[in-house]
Structures are given as structure tokens and as C-alpha cells.
């Protein structure tokens, strides 16, 4: 993930659409990176903030939700259940 590049482009005044076109990232990803950066940057101004923790959060890789649910194996039994429904 090129968070620094996205943040730099946003600070330069480019739109999310233009950044998405140039980088290949989705506009939602760009918005999420910018919102996370903005909220963390506002924390830097507060007294007593752990600067290293905020900086680490700014540079960490994105976390995606894990897929929940059970994977099922496609069997002939499933086909017969589907055909009877």
C-alpha cells in the first residue's frame, strides 16, 4: 500500500477520482486512507499523545475483515437439494 503517495496527492489537492485513476487503487480505499490519516494527524496536536504509536498506526498495512462462515464442498447431494427446491 502506498499510503504516503496517496496522502501526498491529497495534500496537493487532487481528487479521490484522480488519485484512483493514477494509482489504480479504489476510491473507497483512498477515502479510508485519507480519513485515517486526518484523524491520526489531529491526535498529534494533543498533549500527552504517544507519538510513536500514532506514527506506527499511520504507516501500518491495512487490515481487512476476515471472511466468516463455513466453506462448503460442492457435492452431488447439494445439486439434488437445489434441484428439488
Residue 14: CB atoms within 10 Å:
16
Q: Is residue 69 part of a domain?
A: no
**pLDDT score at 62:** 67
pTM above 0.75, yes or no: no
Cβ atoms of residues 32 and 19 within 8 Å: no
Query: Distance between CA atoms of 23 and 26, rounded to whole angstroms?
Result: 9
Q: Is residue 21 part of a domain?
A: yes
Cβ atoms of residues 23 and 5 within 8 Å: yes
Q: What is the pLDDT of residues 36-75, one digit of tens each?
A: 888 888 877 778 878 788 778 777 776 667 777 777 777 8
Q: What is the pLDDT of residues 4-37, one digit of tens each?
A: 888 899 999 999 999 999 999 999 999 998 998 8
Domain holding 37, by residue range, is 3-63
**pLDDT score at 66:** 74
Close Cβ partners of 81 (under 8 Å, ≥ 6 residues apart):
none
Query: Distance between CA atoms of 70 and 73, rounded to whole angstroms?
Result: 10
* Number of domains, the chain: 1
Amino acid at each position: 500500500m502506498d499510503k504516503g503517495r496517496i496522502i501526498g496527492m491529497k495534500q496537493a489537492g487532487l481528487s479521490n477520482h484522480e488519485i484512483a485513476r493514477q494509482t489504480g487503487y479504489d476510491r473507497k480505499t483512498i477515502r479510508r486512507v485519507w480519513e485515517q490519516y486526518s484523524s491520526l494527524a489531529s491526535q498529534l496536536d494533543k498533549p500527552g499523545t504517544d507519538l510513536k504509536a500514532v506514527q506506527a498506526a499511520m504507516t501500518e498495512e491495512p487490515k481487512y475483515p476476515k471472511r466468516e462462515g463455513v466453506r462448503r464442498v460442492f457435492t452431488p447431494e447439494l445439486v439434488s437439494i437445489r434441484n428439488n427446491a
